[in-house]
A and B are shown apart, each in its own frame.
Chain A
């Protein structure tokens, strides 16, 4: 299930990089999104920023640094923003789609490692995991919550992964067309795993490094929020 080959430095062919769309949902990220987008665009020119109805200058900043800036008129949640980004990328002819956090948690170097197995044709979906190698320094409170989420996924969705709530994912065009996120808010991560699992397409986890900064910790989910998310997910599964 894991990709141990370090293909980061191998580099991807230009046509792959140019037909890859990096999808970045952003909600009130005006402070740091410029740096993140510019870093990614040095390697991957097609960055789609979905401003999810931010109340700050996120959209103006995004429009300055990428040609693909999309704006939700009202806030609809991260799941909704991701699906908008995926639809947009597919409409622009993306061959590969990578979802990437806009708060600077993910490393641009890891995108190549995420794409490599898909480009080689080994699988259609890769899911980033911060637990596969020891390179991420994960705060104790987050580690506990994330482990609980892994256990929750194993019981409820019957899928065994090492990191179920990592925003770093890569899809082939075929896989992206099969994904349809309907849970607007944070519980979409569990829904996505269900869809990946039921798509019948091969997937695997790839080690990625997650950088925790004061900024990302403040923007991320608290443990109490996690319980709310779990409840929302269960409700979404049982109600019509």
Chain B
């Protein structure tokens, strides 16, 4: 294994420990914890055995393993952006409903004075 592999492994294992401790302490839901743990596990496999990604890439008709990882990363990021955007919209909607409720309550109490 090269120095880079050791470093990458260290980072990924650190992330796995953080994820598991977050799940145990209830900061993350069980579903989130398991999903992220799986991601780190896959990353560990790819780091320890770099030829594996190359094999998978060639099967899919992509030349190199690094390209496969890049494409996957782009797709995952785009999905992530969309999910955050949808969540942001829901949050804005909830904020509006809250602000409306407060406005009408406040107006009601000042009118009755």
A residues in contact (CB < 8 Å) with B: 50, 53, 67-74, 76, 80, 83-84, 87-88, 91, 182, 184, 239-240
Closest-CB distance, A213 to chain B (whole angstroms): 29
Q: Restricting to B67-113, which residues have a CB under 8 Å from any CB of A?
A: 85-86, 89, 92-93, 95-96, 99-100, 102-104, 106-107, 111
A74→B99 contact, CB < 8 A: yes
Query: Closest 3 CB pairs between A and B?
Result: A70-B107, A84-B100, A80-B96
B100→A184 contact, CB < 8 A: no
B104→A87 contact, CB < 8 A: yes
Closest-CB distance, B39 to chain A (whole angstroms): 25
State A182–B100 Cα separation when bound (angstroms). 12
Contacts of A84 in B (CB 8 A): 99-100, 103-104
Contacts of B111 in A (CB 8 A): 67-68
A76→B95 contact, CB < 8 A: yes
A72→B107 contact, CB < 8 A: no
State the interface size on chain B (CB cutoff 8 A). 15
Contact of B103 among A67, A71, A182 (CB under 8 A): A71
Contacts of B96 in A (CB 8 A): 76, 80, 184
Beyond A67-B111, A76-B96, A80-B96, whether A50 also contacts B103 by CB under 8 A is: yes
Considering the complex, give the chain A residue whose CB is closest to the CB of B98. A73
State A80–B107 Cα separation when bound (angstroms). 16
A83→B86 contact, CB < 8 A: no
State A47–B99 Cα separation when bound (angstroms). 20
State A184–B104 Cα separation when bound (angstroms). 17
Closest-CB distance, B58 to chain A (whole angstroms): 37
Which of B86, B93, B100, B102 is most buried by chain A, counting CB atoms within 10 A of its CB? Answer: B100
State A74–B96 Cα separation when bound (angstroms). 9
* Binary CB contact string for chain B from 26 to 38 against chain A (1 if under 8 A, 0 otherwise): 0000000000000
Contact of A68 among B85, B86, B107 (CB under 8 A): B107
Contact of A80 among B85, B86, B100 (CB under 8 A): B100
